[in-house]
Structure 1
């Protein structure tokens, strides 16, 4: 009996070891690519280092340099403005598009779904070429032609303060609205039709079905997209850099927090201030995520109160 028990335990250990070996590549890659750079960045935030010379401990000086730099606060302002303009509309439009794609009478659904999702998988080089033509500074560009129909003067989209922000926000909206639409569509398809049929029999209107069935059951998907879109907006980098090209790091109209971080690290070789910026960005993301959580908790409490 003892030998059988030891054999059984050895088999369990073998299974446990083999299981850990199967999942070990993920943890090894995460340790090398994710955890180590994050810890090293926290260490660098308190050092003065250009990548070649010996490190010099400077305490909180890097944070002081970043927080007293007007360009940093300009990048925070730009990030928040473009995040709001590019993120909020796509969440609303995404729900509308998902509702349309979920209708039973709609034909060629698969074609529309692929078409809406296509911008998300499109190469950023192609996106840059398309939007550089749409929002060129020439009076004959498509964007200037459209606003000219409403009697507005042409805009220098690549140099003006608000023109640059609007163009980049539209690029962000165009690229990510399909991604959120697919998530909302999956949420809508997870709702049983029996609930709508029972509500119709009970005399509930379409608006009441939307308010008391669709939105509450779609809420987890909405929270997911709000959270991911908020984090993505605070990490905005690709769209401004490909839209502005060589002028991305020399002009302040569209400088984002991540662009500010990249400029310090790889253009000014100031890895200490870049790491300090990364930590500040992490704190900002945590604060906004906490605010979202508190707002969500408040909404849930209000809903419970209304039901009582």
Structure 2
């Protein structure tokens, strides 16, 4: 009975402690939040706000100075009937395919070679990464001289008996020149990404493959590629995002204030972002450019999902062992 009589008293004494606990926790956690608050303030001002404002702007007609005029979905309607916009989409995807596929394959091969016991591997890694940190504007000017009609590229072709190519005048030449610049810039970066993934693969898998008589090609495609699936997925998605936003190469290589000649002859180098820039900052149609940016965002999201499904949708059991020697190996069955 005495115990039961004392129970309510203990509850009444503990109640104030429970009400003060949240305040104490808030005071204890407040200094760290204040310390990291500059990042969130800057992100809200220069990251989140521009995103939401661009979406709001895509429903308005605005020249950047005067008052905004609400036009609803007309910007998107006009885009869907803009032949230059559709031409820029086709150009962007052609350049993306011509650059991304060989770039990722070459990066994977380079990473596999760097992972082997080669001399001066550290120097090779630095050399491959230098293009990524080089000013793309400066290098585009250099490449413009290389791909000129009397430039180094055509001189080398003529030296081996091949007629010169109109790198900056023909449709295929323009797309090839831009693609080569993209490959030159990003192959080393992706090679180092693949190399980091290779170094995480247990050496026992490579040793088992060698014992079973696998060739270097079999090791690359039946051991390395399945084990690197998450890394390859990351590289494909980031390359897709970057490839669909190509701007500097086309802008510097074919700079022109006239929208009709932007992107080179026939506008074969006109990309989505270059057209967005032309409409926004040359024609001062910021609402039109914002709508174009959101369509580009939708395209990137769709292709990122498609790439994710294609790359990650295979046999997931490949990561647990060596799927190689079902045929072609010395002890295969």
Q: What is the alpha-carbon distance in structure 2 between the residues aligned to residue 45 and residue 5 of structure 1?
A: 50
Match of 2:308 in 1: 293
**232, 236, 256: which one pairs with 1:226?**
236
Report Cα offsets for 1:207-256 as digits up to 9, x if no partner. Answer: 55444432222111110000000010111111111222337952312010
Instruction: Report which of the two structures shows the higher radius of gyration computed on alpha carbons.
Output: 2
Secondary structure of the equivalent of 1:245? coil
Q: What is the alpha-carbon distance in structure 2 between the residues aligned to residue 10 and residue 233 of structure 1?
A: 50
TM-score (norm 1): 0.89
Q: What is the alpha-carbon distance in structure 2 between the residues aligned to residue 225 and residue 45 of structure 1?
A: 31
Match of 2:214 in 1: 205
Report Cα offsets for 1:85-113 as digits up to 9, x if no partner. Answer: 11111100001111111112x11111111
Q: What is the alpha-carbon distance in structure 2 between the residues aligned to residue 240 and residue 45 of structure 1?
A: 25
CA contact (8 A) 1:124 1:242 kept: no
Match runs of 1:172-191 below 5 Å: 172-191=182-201
Match of 1:21 in 2: 34
CA contact (8 A) 1:82 1:165 kept: yes
Shift of the 211–91 alpha-carbon distance from structure 1 to 2, 3 Å rule, reads: closer
Q: Which runs of 5+ in 2 are unaligned?
A: 1-12, 324-333
Q: Does 1:131 align with 2:143?
A: yes
TM-score (norm 2): 0.83
Match of 1:94 in 2: 107
Report Cα offsets for 1:164-222 as digits up to 9, x if no partner. Answer: 11111100100010100110111111112123234445x25245544443222211111
Shift of the 55–9 alpha-carbon distance from structure 1 to 2, 3 Å rule, reads: closer
Q: What is the alpha-carbon distance in structure 2 between the residues aligned to residue 178 and residue 211 of structure 1?
A: 20
Secondary structure of the equivalent of 1:71? helix
Q: What is the alpha-carbon distance in structure 2 between the residues aligned to residue 181 and residue 60 of structure 1?
A: 43
Secondary structure of the equivalent of 1:246? coil
Q: Does 1:110 align with 2:122?
A: yes
CA contact (8 A) 1:248 1:254 kept: no
Shift of 1:268: 0.2
**66, 76, 91: which one pairs with 1:63?**
76
CA contact (8 A) 1:168 1:240 kept: yes
**107, 116, 132: which one pairs with 1:120?**
132
Shift of 1:25: 2.3
Shift of 1:13: 2.2
Shift of 1:129: 2.9
Q: What is the alpha-carbon distance in structure 1 between the residues aligned to residue 315 and residue 89 of structure 2?
A: 31
Shift of 1:116: 0.6
Q: What is the alpha-carbon distance in structure 2 between the residues aligned to residue 280 and residue 126 of structure 1?
A: 30
CA contact (8 A) 1:79 1:234 kept: yes
Shift of the 131–71 alpha-carbon distance from structure 1 to 2, 3 Å rule, reads: same
Shift of 1:156: 3.2
The CA RMSD measured in Å over matched residues stands at 2.5
Report Cα offsets for 1:234-284 as digits up to 9, x if no partner. Answer: 111111112223379523120100111111110000111111101111111
Shift of the 62–5 alpha-carbon distance from structure 1 to 2, 3 Å rule, reads: closer
**50, 53, 66: which one pairs with 1:40?**
53
CA contact (8 A) 2:233 2:308 kept: no
Q: What is the alpha-carbon distance in structure 1 between the residues aligned to residue 214 and residue 170 of structure 2?
A: 48
Report Cα offsets for 1:102-143 as digits up to 9, x if no partner. Answer: 112x111111110011000011233023202211122xx111
